[in-house]
Structure 1
């Protein structure tokens, strides 16, 4: 029976692996065609470690039989408009065989409770345009679209 809990240092190898997998999976086919997998992996590891080592940064982990099978990465940073601390749900991932069981919801609930205990009133997340499941899940958890990031490739 999977359990949702806060991460331990012993989870770090699995978290690094899942962070790299998440970054690769949410990438658009166009980006994958030109991406360097080793660079994607390196950046995913750097981002995970930076968030976990930042003040208030943590991860919620879903484990099954002692092995992590999912995670929600949470950071805290100042709101760019008010300067107040805000939560940031940086990444969420569940291995495919664990999806649809309410585990992502449990990770979100534990993460939100953690932020409330710290006095955080606002939380954001960034969902890639090519991740409709992530968008649907975020909206089901009460997140609203507040901005759209766009890209243009410059030629010649």
Structure 2
């Protein structure tokens, strides 16, 4: 496995799967079409976000999309993980952990003192995030009307 910053061609290879990633990550809370998911990813990249990919040979097997945001209360610049995904057949091999560690290293090198992400209730990735030192800092609740 090799992890690198994605080229434009490799980003195009991720696009067909980004909707699946966001839908799975939100535990089905969002039904996201490919166009909408692609726009979300492009918006992050347009704001100096980055995407790193994991490859097995020439096959893209996972990615992490990350960037920076301003904390809405303090105005502090923070790192933010927007998307993490590993193809089903490659899970359980430490790829997600490696992608996260690489992204956090990059964010630290960019001067970030903290990194945040959103994880939906029931997402099995929460256990990984906790092992990497993330902790709950707020709960967002919803109710259908």
- What TM-score do you get using the length of structure 2 for normalisation? 0.91
Extract unaligned runs of 5+ from structure 1: none
Establish whether residue 41 from structure 1 lines up as the match of residue 34 from structure 2: yes
Asked if structure 2 preserves the Cα contact closer than 8 Å seen for 1:18 and 1:93, the reply is no
The CA deviation string for residues 53-111 of structure 1, in whole angstroms up to 9 with x for no partner, is 212x1011101122211001102111112212111001100011111111111111111
Cα pair distance change 1:123/1:76, threshold 3 Å: same
Query: Which structure: greater helix fraction?
Result: 1
C-alpha distance in 2 between matches for 1:135 and 1:27: 12
Gap runs ≥5 in structure 2: none
Q: CA deviation at 1:113?
A: 1.0
> Aligned-residue CA RMSD in angstroms?
1.6
What is the CA-CA distance between 1:27 and the residue it aligns to?
A: 4.3
Q: Decide whether the 8 Å contact of 1:18 with 1:70 is kept in 2.
A: no
Q: Secondary structure at the match of 2:38?
A: helix
| 1:149 corresponding residue in structure 2 | 140
Matches within 5 A, 1:1-156: 2-28=1-27, 31=29, 35=31, 39-55=32-48, 57-131=49-123, 133-154=124-145
SS of the aligned residue for 1:124 comes to strand
The runs of 4+ residues in structure 1 deviating greater than 4 Å are none
Retained in 1: the 8 A contact 2:79–2:115? yes
TM value normalised by structure 1: 0.85
The alpha-carbon deviation at position 5 of structure 1 amounts to 1.3
Contact (CA 8 Å) 2:52, 2:65: kept in 1 or not? Answer: yes
Q: Is the 8 A contact 1:62 1:68 kept in 2?
A: yes
Aligned length: 145
8 A contact 1:77–1:85 mirrored in 2? yes
